[in-house]
Chains A and B, each alone.
Chain A
Amino acid sequence: MTPDGKKIPNDNIVRLVDIRKTYVSGNLRVPVLKGIDATVRRGEFVGFIGTSGSGKSTLLNILGMLDVPTRGQYYLEGIEVGGLSDMEQATIRNRKIGFIFQSFNLFSHLSVEQNIEVPMVYGQVPTKIRRKRSLDLIARVGLGHRLGHRPTQLSGGECQRIAIARALSNNPAFILADEPTGNLDEKTSDEIMKLFHELNRRQGVTIVMVTHNPAFGPHYDKIIRLRDGKIDDTPFEWEIEQEAHRAEAERKEAEQ
Chain B
Amino acid sequence: MMLVGDFFRLSLHNLLLHKVRSTLTSLGVIFGVGSVIAMLAISEGAKRSALAQIEAMGVDKIIVFSKRPPVSGKSESSKNASIMERFGLSSVDRSNIAKMDNIGQITAVFNTRKPILKGTRRTDLKLMGCDYEFLRDSQARMQKGRWFSPSDYKNNRCVCVIGKNVKRQLFFLGSANIIGNTIRVGDDVFRIIGILDNRYSNQYPEIGGQNDMILIPMTTARALYKDYTSIREGRNFRIARVEYDLFLIKIKDTSCIDNTAKRVTRYLEKNHSETKDWGITVPLELLMRMEQTQNIFTIVMGSIAGISLVVGGIGIMNIMLANIYERRKEIGIRRALGAQKLDILLQFLIETVFLTSIGGLIGILLGVGIGSMITYYTGMPTIYTTWSIILALVISSLTGIIFGTYPAYKAAQQNPITVLRAE
Interface residues in chain A, defined as those with a beta carbon under 8 Å from any beta carbon in chain B: 57, 61, 64, 66-67, 86-87, 90-91, 93-95, 99, 101-103, 105, 107, 109, 118-119, 121-124, 166, 170
B420 within 8 A of A: yes
Contact of A109 among B17, B333, B337, B340 (CB under 8 A): B17
B417 within 8 A of A: yes
Choose, from B1-9, B178-186, B366-374, the stretch at the interface.
Answer: B1-9
Known: A66-B416, A66-B420, A119-B338. Contact between A107 and B343, CB under 8 A?
Answer: no
24 A-B pairs whose Cβ atoms sit less than 8 Å apart in the complex: A66-B336, A67-B417, A87-B1, A87-B342, A90-B335, A90-B339, A90-B340, A90-B341, A91-B338, A93-B336, A94-B337, A102-B423, A103-B423, A105-B329, A105-B333, A105-B336, A105-B420, A107-B330, A118-B334, A122-B1, A122-B2, A122-B334, A123-B338, A124-B3
Contact B417 A61, beta carbon cutoff 8 Å: yes
Residues of B within 8 A of A99 (CB): 336-337
Alpha-carbon gap, A66 to B333, bound state (A)? 10
Residues of A within 8 A of B417 (CB): 61, 66-67
Contact A122 B337, beta carbon cutoff 8 Å: yes
Alpha-carbon gap, A123 to B2, bound state (A)? 7
Contact B339 A122, beta carbon cutoff 8 Å: yes
Alpha-carbon gap, A65 to B423, bound state (A)? 20
Contact A121 B2, beta carbon cutoff 8 Å: yes
Residues of B within 8 A of A57 (CB): 421
Contact A101 B420, beta carbon cutoff 8 Å: yes
Contact A95 B338, beta carbon cutoff 8 Å: yes
Nearest-neighbour CB distance to chain B for A169, whole angstroms, equals 9
Alpha-carbon gap, A170 to B3, bound state (A)? 16
Contact of B337 among A61, A91, A118 (CB under 8 A): A118
Q: Find the B residue at minimum CB distance from A68.
A: B417
Q: Find the A residue at minimum CB distance from B9.
A: A121
Nearest-neighbour CB distance to chain B for A63, whole angstroms, equals 12
- From 313 to 339 in chain B, residues with beta carbon under 8 angstroms from any chain A beta carbon are 329-330, 333-339
Alpha-carbon gap, A87 to B329, bound state (A)? 20
Nearest-neighbour CB distance to chain A for B358, whole angstroms, equals 20
Nearest-neighbour CB distance to chain A for B214, whole angstroms, equals 77
Contact B341 A86, beta carbon cutoff 8 Å: yes
Residues of A within 8 A of B340 (CB): 86-87, 90-91
Alpha-carbon gap, A87 to B10, bound state (A)? 20
Residues of A within 8 A of B342 (CB): 86-87
Residues of B within 8 A of A102 (CB): 423
Contact B335 A66, beta carbon cutoff 8 Å: yes
Alpha-carbon gap, A109 to B18, bound state (A)? 11
Contact of A64 among B1, B334, B336, B421 (CB under 8 A): B336
Residues of A within 8 A of B337 (CB): 93-94, 99, 118-119, 122, 166
Known: A61-B417, A101-B420, A107-B333. Contact between A94 and B338, CB under 8 A?
Answer: yes
Alpha-carbon gap, A90 to B330, bound state (A)? 16
Given contacts A64-B336, A66-B417, A122-B338, 11 further A-B pairs with CB under 8 A are A66-B336, A86-B341, A90-B338, A90-B340, A90-B341, A94-B338, A99-B336, A99-B337, A107-B333, A122-B2, A122-B337
Alpha-carbon gap, A140 to B336, bound state (A)? 23
Q: Find the A residue at minimum CB distance from B342.
A: A87
Nearest-neighbour CB distance to chain A for B340, whole angstroms, equals 4
Q: Find the B residue at minimum CB distance from A121.
A: B6
Nearest-neighbour CB distance to chain B for A156, whole angstroms, equals 15
Residues of A within 8 A of B420 (CB): 66, 101, 105
Nearest-neighbour CB distance to chain A for B251, whole angstroms, equals 69
Contact A93 B333, beta carbon cutoff 8 Å: no
Q: Find the B residue at minimum CB distance from A57.
A: B421
Residues of B within 8 A of A105 (CB): 329, 333, 336, 420
Residues of B within 8 A of A64 (CB): 336
Max chain B Cβ within 10 angstroms of own Cβ: one of A87, A90, A166 = A90
Max chain B Cβ within 10 angstroms of own Cβ: one of A61, A93, A105, A121 = A121
Q: Find the B residue at minimum CB distance from A107.
A: B330
Contact A90 B343, beta carbon cutoff 8 Å: yes
Top 8 nearest A-B pairs (CB, nearest first) are A94-B338, A90-B340, A122-B338, A99-B336, A119-B337, A105-B333, A93-B338, A66-B416
- From 337 to 383 in chain B, residues with beta carbon under 8 angstroms from any chain A beta carbon are 337-343
Alpha-carbon gap, A79 to B356, bound state (A)? 44
Residues of A within 8 A of B10 (CB): 121
Nearest-neighbour CB distance to chain A for B38, whole angstroms, equals 37
Alpha-carbon gap, A90 to B335, bound state (A)? 7
Nearest-neighbour CB distance to chain B for A229, whole angstroms, equals 18
Residues of B within 8 A of A119 (CB): 337-338
Contact of B1 among A107, A118, A124, A166 (CB under 8 A): A124
Alpha-carbon gap, A61 to B334, bound state (A)? 15
Nearest-neighbour CB distance to chain B for A92, whole angstroms, equals 9
Alpha-carbon gap, A119 to B336, bound state (A)? 9
Q: Find the B residue at minimum CB distance from A169.
A: B337
Residues of A within 8 A of B339 (CB): 90, 94, 122
Nearest-neighbour CB distance to chain B for A130, whole angstroms, equals 10
Residues of A within 8 A of B3 (CB): 121, 124
Nearest-neighbour CB distance to chain B for A100, whole angstroms, equals 10
Alpha-carbon gap, A57 to B6, bound state (A)? 32
